[in-house]
Structure 1
Amino acid sequence: MTMPLLEVEDLQAHFHTPEGVVRAVDGVSFSVDEGETLGIVGESGSGKSVTAMSIMRLNPSPPCRYTGGRIRYQGRDLLSADERELRAIRGSEISMIFQDPTTCLNPVLTIGDQIAEAVRSHERVSRKQALRRAVQALDEVGMPSAERRARDYPHQLSGGMRQRAMIAVALAGRPKVLIADEPTTALDVTIQAQILELLEQLKAAHGMSIIVITHDLGVVSQIADRVLVMYGGRAVESGTPKELFQDPLMPYTWSLLRAVPRLDADLAPEPIRGQPPSLADLPPGCPFAPRCRFADDRCTTTDLVLDRKAEGRWAACVHTAAEFRALAAALDEPNEAGR
């Protein structure tokens, strides 16, 4: 049995603030194999981005403290690595596409110079060679007129072009793991589809592993091999997209799916009632219990129970799979009768 390329085990990333300890990530575990795409999905404030930033140790410290767990990349624990080791890994081994390219691309440097700088930070090449690599990288990510665009500044590019430029910067060091944090949030539907297709092409061409952070279930259905659902700073369900979409076993996943408009279903979308909990003041028991349509007394007195269904398939809920399926089916029966 081969070792995963990246393995996160019981990660705890807590922010110490004047209002108290914010448990942004509280005991999250997952792994990513070579050439695999993992989707991490959940509402805003569920801990997705903090998890992604933790892998590269980019959360500000203070106030962030890693109070437990391990992040192993090729067997090395990144939480115990010093800054020199981390600089060698960032960009060349693990790279990240951030949510908003306008805040991450330097406005006073051309796109070509920014990619060339990323190349030269990891390889001993001349500036001319690095600029040539920059044009190649832009061409690879589908930038039209790559040589001319390499001389442009970020403000001269459209939103879709800026996202492609950021992907080119992230790939400059030829990483083995690419983390994409909400890579399509600010883009229209057509450009979203193009960016997702591009990530798939780059994954195939380079043999990369990809972690996609998103709140959009449509994104994970298109690109992910496996999905991790997060809520309240914790992992609450994991499985393939087909398993989660066709047979969700955790009420939060079920609720997320019910909230999405679908052309192939007669039911109107149902927003999840209430608001996500404060990570500085989580309720007792399951953090989703106050919003859950299936909660009973056990849910507020028992912490999340991890119930493994099969290899790679699990849900954290006091209800067994059979119990939850029966509860969900009973809730749907009145709707079926009224059609």
Structure 2
Amino acid sequence: MCPEVSLLKVNELSIQSEEVNLLAPLSFELTAGQLTGVIGASGSGKSLLAQALLGSVPRGFTLSGEVSLPQDQRVALSAQSASVLDPLRTVISQLKRRVSPGAGKRTSQLQRVNISRKIAACYPHQLSGGMAKKALLAQATWQQTDFVVADEPCCGLDTSSATELYRYLAKLAAQERRGVLVISHNLKHLLTVADDILVLKEGQLVEKTTPEKILKGLCAPYTYALWQAIPGNWGRTDAAVA
């Protein structure tokens, strides 16, 4: 087995103004070759955490704390909204702007980032919701960064498409030895691919746990409540997902 290599350390990261604390001081460590999920109800601070990791905060707020990476390592964001795509360029032209010299032929590159030539040839307005999610994820992974943050990569997708993308994210971690942080409401899918899970509530870190502990009910009450909120688990008292 490959030894775990520390990839990203977060120390006392927070977003605040004089009156409001959007993100309480958070500290955790992520490692190469692992997929970490971030869950929580709407407004819990998940997307704020993604932006904070890249040094961005809402206007009028201050970012404090430290995000440290080993030398020459970088972070790429797979954004939640397709609005970040250039409406005047095809997907492939936007990807080519980010590719490193000598990265290989276009076809092999497209296969590596799990995107079809049909999607690559489209302009953003021609993309369906699922196609746009794949384009956003490809834009992030094409860059060959050491760390990928995927913000709601499967929101609104059908179960089959979501499963495909989650498996691709797991492959990035396991086979390419990247650190992958997946922010999602979809706890059911995260339980099948994540190595560990960060649970946020109202901007605070409730716990860092694992899928195994959640499935066994060995987690915080709030985390267990999120598990119970999965439609297939309504009314159940055990902690085993069907």
Q: TM-score range by the shorter chain?
A: 0.7 to 0.9
Percent sequence identity over aligned pairs: 29
CA distance in 1, matches of 2:185, 2:114: 26
Amino acid at match of 2:19: V
Long gaps (5+) in structure 1: 77-88, 270-331, 333-339
Amino acid at match of 1:187: L
1:73 maps onto 2:43 in alignment:
no
Partner of 2:33: 35
Q: 1:153 to 1:239 in 2, by over 3 A?
A: same
Q: 1:28 to 1:156 in 2, by over 3 A?
A: same
CA distance in 1, matches of 2:195, 2:165: 17
Q: 1:257 to 1:114 in 2, by over 3 A?
A: same
Amino acid at match of 2:12: D
Q: 1:249 to 1:191 in 2, by over 3 A?
A: closer
Q: Is the contact between residue 134 and residue 150 of structure 1 (CA under 8 Å) also seen in structure 2?
A: no
Partner of 1:52: 50
Could you list the per-position Cα deviations for residues 152-177 of structure 1 after superposition, in whole angstroms to 9, with x for gaps in the alignment? Answer: 21222332222222222112220111
Normalising to structure 1: TM-score of the pair?
0.63
Q: Is the contact between residue 15 and residue 23 of structure 2 (CA under 8 Å) also seen in structure 1?
A: yes
RMSD over aligned CA atoms reads 2.5
Give the secondary-structure state (helix, strand or coil) at the position aligned to 2:19.
strand
- Counterpart pick for 1:118 among 73, 98, 123: 98
Give the secondary-structure state (helix, strand or coil) at the position aligned to 2:182.
strand
Amino acid at match of 1:136: S
Partner of 2:151: 181
1:217 maps onto 2:187 in alignment:
yes
Alignment of 1:126-145 (within 5 A): 134-144=106-116
CA distance in 2, matches of 1:251, 1:203: 29
CA distance in 1, matches of 2:226, 2:131: 31
The Cα shift of 1:23 comes to 1.2
Partner of 1:108: 88
Give the secondary-structure state (helix, strand or coil) at the position aligned to 1:5.
strand
The Cα shift of 1:12 comes to 1.3
CA distance in 2, matches of 1:114, 1:8: 30
The Cα shift of 1:32 comes to 0.5
Could you list the per-position Cα deviations for residues 126-145 of structure 1 after superposition, in whole angstroms to 9, with x for gaps in the alignment? Answer: xxx78x7554332223333x
Long gaps (5+) in structure 2: 238-242
Could you list the per-position Cα deviations for residues 212-256 of structure 1 after superposition, in whole angstroms to 9, with x for gaps in the alignment? Answer: 111221122022100111101110122111112312442211221
Q: Which has the higher contact order (CA 8 A, sep 6+)?
A: 2
Normalising to structure 2: TM-score of the pair?
0.86
Q: 1:94 to 1:194 in 2, by over 3 A?
A: same
1:201 maps onto 2:203 in alignment:
no
Alignment of 1:206-245 (within 5 A): 206-245=176-215
The Cα shift of 1:99 comes to 1.2
